[in-house]
Amino acid sequence: MQSYIQSAEEILKKNDLGSYTVPTHGLYPFQWNWDSCLTALGQFHFNEARAWREIETLMAHQWDDGMVPHIIFHKEDDGYFPGPDVWATGRKVPTSGITQPAVAGFAVNRLYERAKDKALAGEMVRALLPKIHKWHQWFFRCRDPQGTGLVAIIHPWESGRDNSVDWDVPFSRVPTDGVLPFQRRDTQHANPDHRPTQAQYERYIWLVQLFRSLKWDNMALRDNSPFRIVDPGFNAILLRSCSDVAKLAAEVGLDDIAAESRSFAQKGTLAMDALWDDDFGQYICFDRAANELIKSPSISGILAAFADIPAGRSKALAERVMRLSSRCTYAVASHDPAGEGFDASRYWRGPVWLIVNYMIADGLRRAGQTDVAEKIKHDSLELIEKGGFRNTMIL
């Protein structure tokens, strides 16, 4: 155990650029939104103040409308595509123009609960909660026009699960005409067989070009994107953050934030049930543009365990993890190995992702599904020992 902790600390220190941390040198040379929040949870173990700084830096780049971008391009680095010139969002410190899973509320609550320096934690919470809440309000305003309680993503990169099988059908409706010629950089840093395909990249960029042509007006993006998906894992992270913000805001006397956050969490958690699929025994995505459920058994529907879903659903998800585990050596594959489109080595189409395991185990533990939570933790540690700190799949 000690050696894992030491190597985790060494990696975080190596990737630390002072006020933000890169997910990895080379492939991801800037600050990424959810990576940063989860990184802060690790930094907390050896430097509490530095952990708070990570989230402060991220939130300092929030847009005026409340959106928190998925990449902050703090400095130039031509080793990444698409860089700031492609996004062209017009920000002083350039950022991308889309968002990412809203895990900041959860992270801030966890840092606060575990803080030894309570004075610093209190100060940080009072400064950060209004910003995080503004981001949550942005989600429900800009990504839930009908007021269903659940929000849609408008680009696969927002989910963090770039090339999930979930997007195969919706992507067949995203065109590629007019995509300007580009040169990918990711395949220079990573094995192309593990990364998204060229056809997927063309669609990623087509969407970016469309959003840029709409001048990054979030209402226009919401109404014009042909890709609008209600992703259960993405929503679960947002709803868990809303409920953590509600608890924390009540504790520090921010009563209006507490009340609205509680109502976001309650409404969304009830709405989530419409995404339940009895055949797979897990949640699935809903394609808002096509008005249909996406019958694809990905990890997103299991990550829903991170929110305060009903006890019966948590139990069913725990059983689902065990059923999936009987087909792989390690829990939890990012796509069902029996499902169409599964690929043991390609990014989000099969490999296990440790941060997702962490969130699923956390949710299951809270719901009393301790044995399965322990199994996920045990498998994750074994995977780290065999494959290192990265996404990995050993069937």
Residue ranges in contact with ligand DGY by CB under 6 A: 70, 157, 162, 186
Nearer to ligand DGY, 186 or 308 (CB): 186
What DSSP line would sit under 36-82, residue for residue?
A: HHHHHHHHTTT-HHHHHHHHHHHHTT--TTS---SEE--S--TTSSS
Nearer to ligand DGY, 48 or 186 (CB): 186
CA neighbor of 47 nearest in space, from 25, 19, 80, 70: 19
Nearer to ligand DGY, 186 or 287 (CB): 186
CA neighbor of 105 nearest in space, from 134, 63, 146: 134
Q: Which residues have C-beta within 8 Å of that of residue 3, sequence separation ≥ 6?
A: none
Rounded to 10 degrees, what is the CA torsion of 135, 137, 139, 141?
A: -140
Report the nearest approach of ligand DGY to the CB of residue 27 (Å).
Answer: 7
Nearer to ligand DGY, 44 or 87 (CB): 87
Nearer to ligand DGY, 195 or 222 (CB): 195
24 in the Ramachandran plot: left (φ > 0), alpha (ψ -120 to 50) or beta?
Answer: beta
Report the nearest approach of ligand DGY to the CB of residue 158 (Å).
Answer: 9
Strand partners, 293: 286
The CA distances from residue 389 to 334, 354, 386, 392, in Å, are 16, 8, 9, 9
Nearer to ligand DGY, 48 or 162 (CB): 162
Report the nearest approach of ligand DGY to the CB of residue 307 (Å).
Answer: 23
What residue number has its CB nearest to ligand DGY?
A: 157
Report the nearest approach of ligand DGY to the CB of residue 355 (Å).
Answer: 13
Report the nearest approach of ligand DGY to the CB of residue 371 (Å).
Answer: 33
88 in the Ramachandran plot: left (φ > 0), alpha (ψ -120 to 50) or beta?
Answer: left
Q: DSSP assignment, residue 32?
A: E
Nearer to ligand DGY, 79 or 281 (CB): 79
Distance CA 237, CA 305 (A): 9
Report the nearest approach of ligand DGY to the CB of residue 106 (Å).
Answer: 20
Distance CA 143, CA 150 (A): 8
Report the nearest approach of ligand DGY to the CB of residue 26 (Å).
Answer: 12
